[in-house]
Amino acid sequence: MALIFRLAWIQLVQGDKLREEAQEVRMRDVPVDARRGNVYDRNGNELVTSISVDTAYAFPPQIENKEEAAARIAEALGMDKEEVYQKLTQNVGFVWLKRRIDYESAQKLKDLKINGVELVEENKRFYRQGSLAAHVLGFAGDDNQGLIGIESVYDKELRGSPGRIVIEKDAVGRDIPEALHKFIPPVPGNNLVLTIDQTIQYFVERELDKIVETHNPKLAVIIVMDPKTGEILAMGNRPTFEPENWRQYPQQVWDHNPGIWYNYEPGSTFKIITAASALEEGAVRLSDSFYDPGYIKVADRTIRCWQGGGHGSQTFVEVAQNSCNPGFITVGLRLGKDKFYKYINAFGFGNKSGICLPGEEVGILIPQKEATDLNIATMSIGQSIAVTPIQLITAASAVANGGLLLKPTLVKAITSEDGKVLQEFKPEIVRQVISKNTAQTLMELLTSVVQKGTGRNAFVDGYGAAGKTGTAQVVGTGGYAEGKYVASFMGYAPADDPRISVLVMVAEPTGSSYFGSQVAAPVFKAVAQDTLRYLKVPERPHIEKPKYPFVYEEPEIKQVVPNIVNYPVEDARSVLLNNGLNVQIRGQGNIVYDQVPKGGAEVSRGTTVILDLNQPPGTGEQGEVTVPDLRGLTIKEAGTILEKLGLHLSPVGTGLAVRQEVAPGSKVARDTTITVEFEPPEIQVLLD
């Protein structure tokens, strides 16, 4: 009776559980990756594919002498012996040894003929063009999963369904006669057809390399879009990386796509939006007259134009050609806060563009209820607002498309393994932002900017061009960073019927050239000219060329040398470098006792200032400190310098230091408190 009861308990109550446990002991289940789908450009050129490679795995219960096996396996696969031994001694039925190994290693492992060690075929991503469009394509990880870029967004479509190899062994891993051997095949992933054109992308990458070689910027972005469809024809960034070897690059290089992530003040390229809004609302006409004395006063601030002496009397057409800041500020103030914000929002600023890439930023927009007349004035010329490159080209392309704002797209279609179209993506209209008449008028205006204004270096031979240059300062701690600029050009070609929109953005170029007309406009010309010829767009022989040779003479920027006598040497160096000046140290010490040129001298940017650290005789009285000149510094900067000298700061007001209670050069006892008055700075605009 006891045996019958026990048999019933095992068979009827625990039968299913014990059957599963027994199956786990004798069944070996090896996963088989599905072949990840290919990625093609718009013309069917293969950009990304998967190639077959071997992966090593083991059944630990079958391996008898694990220590010896670990040593032999480690040598064949180039692994650490201890790492292999730990894997072989795990209390599991299956373990990966090394994924996606090379052919030579696979052959060495086969030759070992170790019972319980096998190879299985897996897939490895292969990027046929190296770093071409790296941030767009992204890359996949070891487990066949997309990690960034298109590989991540369309991971489900590309990945497919994995298969399995099922092998039956006995409890100690020996072969069973007539054992079950079953192969469940994987289902390959679908393919993607992008809007990217491989040849146009090559033009972009070529010009980005030239930018790096010539200007060595912090970042550079070029985007080419079809304004009639919203399709991205090319998107490139610098710095870049090779997707196949992404682990060899710092995370900050591949983790963010600057084309959709980098927030920057667009400068004069944003005047396209200001002009579109004002023309649509009737706040300005092309024939309206303006007078630019070189500055304009808004609230309690004086905003100066990049052209020091001003542009004098001019029509709005000439305001656009000259990129006149007071003129555009006047137009923005005429438009008013409510209407200006209406169009800023309508053009998509302050929101994601909707492009199918991860990590897109929304820009920075002052809340409408908090915006002042001063904010409206500076936003009119592309300051006090931050945008991303994809936002700007998407918005500006509406001007070349009869006022229609389109969603930017990167994927044309999803296809099956045999090429059948499973899903197709059509142009997606977001809204009508401005009328066709306004768009046509603005295109003619922007054409004149290239024909006769600051954008002449962007003229495309045989086709003409329309567009706008921009040079904006980079926002730093407590204001704008001295000597750091973003040079850009937003343009269209051909001028009479745009086939492409191109944005060139170069952040923090080094050297003497940093204006958009010098750095970005020629790049636009090179990309646009090659692209239009490649697309076989007929030339327009009737388009009049600007007079050549053309050299756009930017105003020479003079720099007043700060008085940094009595500064700690590192602070002095920082102040001079931030003001676009070079530094040479003479002598040894921690305090600057003299400088050449003297403080207040007017010199060209890049001039070298010699700092003398040698202490003059009679200046080392015990307990006395010489008070430095703090004018022009922020509260934080002034407080830091005084603290290093053993003095204390008593600030009055906000902004930059304009007056100090104790005159520079005076000697005071340590622990003395220095009262310094601070006032908001004059806004000096440097935009072309």
- Written as one letter, the residue type at 357 is L
Q: How does pLDDT run across 438-467, given as a tens digit for each residue?
A: 999 999 999 999 988 888 899 999 999 999
DSSP 3-state helix, strand, coil percentages of the chain (rounded to 5)?
Answer: 35, 30, 40
In percent, how much of the chain has pLDDT > 90?
Answer: 47
Q: Indicate the range of 76-80, 380-384, 543-547 predicted with least confidence.
A: 543-547
Residues 474 and 588 in one domain: no
Residues 428 and 296 in one domain: yes
Q: Is the pLDDT of residue 292 over 70?
A: yes
- Number of residues in the chain: 688
φ, ψ of residue 5 in degrees (nearest 5): -65, -45
In this prediction, residue 551 has a pLDDT band, given cuts at 50, 70 and 90, of: very low
CA angle 577, 653, 602 (to 5 degrees): 35
Residues 461 and 522 in one domain: yes
Q: How far apart are CA 204 and CA 64, in angstroms?
A: 58
pLDDT of residue 382: 92
Contact in structure between 209 and 202 (CB atoms under 8 Å): no
Mean pLDDT score of the chain:
86
Residues 343 and 367 in one domain: yes
In this prediction, residue 172 has a pLDDT band, given cuts at 50, 70 and 90, of: low
DSSP secondary structure code for residue 588 in this structure: S
CATH of the domain at 495: 3.40.710.10
φ, ψ of residue 180 in degrees (nearest 5): -80, 125
pLDDT of residue 549: 42
Residues 512 and 606 in one domain: no
User: What is the residue range of 602's domain?
Assistant: 559-684
Contact in structure between 357 and 149 (CB atoms under 8 Å): yes
CATH of the domain at 639: 3.30.10.20
Tokens at 132, concatenated: 């071409």
Q: Is the pLDDT of residue 143 over 80?
A: no
Q: Is residue 542 a part of any domain in this protein?
A: no
Q: Is residue 181 a part of any domain in this protein?
A: yes
Q: How many CB atoms lie within 10 A of CB 60?
A: 18
pLDDT of residue 249: 92
Q: Is residue 545 a part of any domain in this protein?
A: no
Residues 86 and 233 in one domain: no
More confident residue, 114 or 231: 231
Q: Is residue 333 a part of any domain in this protein?
A: yes
Residues 118 and 185 in one domain: yes
Nearest to residue 325, comparing CAs of 283, 257, 274?
Answer: 274
- Strand positions, DSSP E, 373-465: 385-386, 404-406, 411-415, 421-424, 429-432
Query: 164 pairs with which residues across the strands?
Result: 31, 184
CATH of the domain at 55: 3.90.1310.10
- Written as one letter, the residue type at 471 is T
Q: Is 397 a catalytic residue?
A: no
Residues 387 and 306 in one domain: yes
Residues 190 and 204 in one domain: no
Q: Is residue 546 a part of any domain in this protein?
A: no
Q: Is residue 267 a part of any domain in this protein?
A: yes
Residue 195: which residues within 8 A CB-CB, separation 6 or more?
42, 226, 231, 232, 233, 409, 410, 411, 412
Q: Is the pLDDT of residue 310 over 80?
A: no
In percent, how much of the chain has pLDDT > 70?
Answer: 90
Over residues 129-133, the mean pLDDT reads 93
Q: Indicate the range of 217-226, 339-348, 510-519 predicted with least confidence.
A: 510-519
In this prediction, residue 95 has a pLDDT band, given cuts at 50, 70 and 90, of: confident
Q: Is the pLDDT of residue 552 over 70?
A: no
Q: Indicate the range of 339-353, 540-554, 623-637 predicted with least confidence.
A: 540-554
Tokens at 173, concatenated: 């891993």
Tokens at 6, concatenated: 């026990």
Q: Is the pLDDT of residue 532 over 90?
A: yes
Write down the pTM of the prediction: 0.77
pLDDT of residue 477: 66
pLDDT of residue 614: 78
In this prediction, residue 553 has a pLDDT band, given cuts at 50, 70 and 90, of: very low
Residues 185 and 52 in one domain: yes
Helix axes 337-346, 325-335, angle to 10 degrees: 100
Q: Is residue 576 a part of any domain in this protein?
A: yes
Residues 225 and 140 in one domain: no
Q: Is residue 552 a part of any domain in this protein?
A: no
Query: CA 523: distance to chain centroid?
Result: 18
Q: Is the pLDDT of residue 557 over 70?
A: no
In this prediction, residue 580 has a pLDDT band, given cuts at 50, 70 and 90, of: low
The count of domains in the chain is 3
Q: How far apart are CA 480 and CA 473, in angstroms?
A: 6
Residues 85 and 97 in one domain: yes
Q: How does pLDDT run across 367-387, given as a tens digit for each residue?
A: 999 999 999 999 999 999 999
Of these residues, 50, 131, 152, 268, which one is catalytic? 268
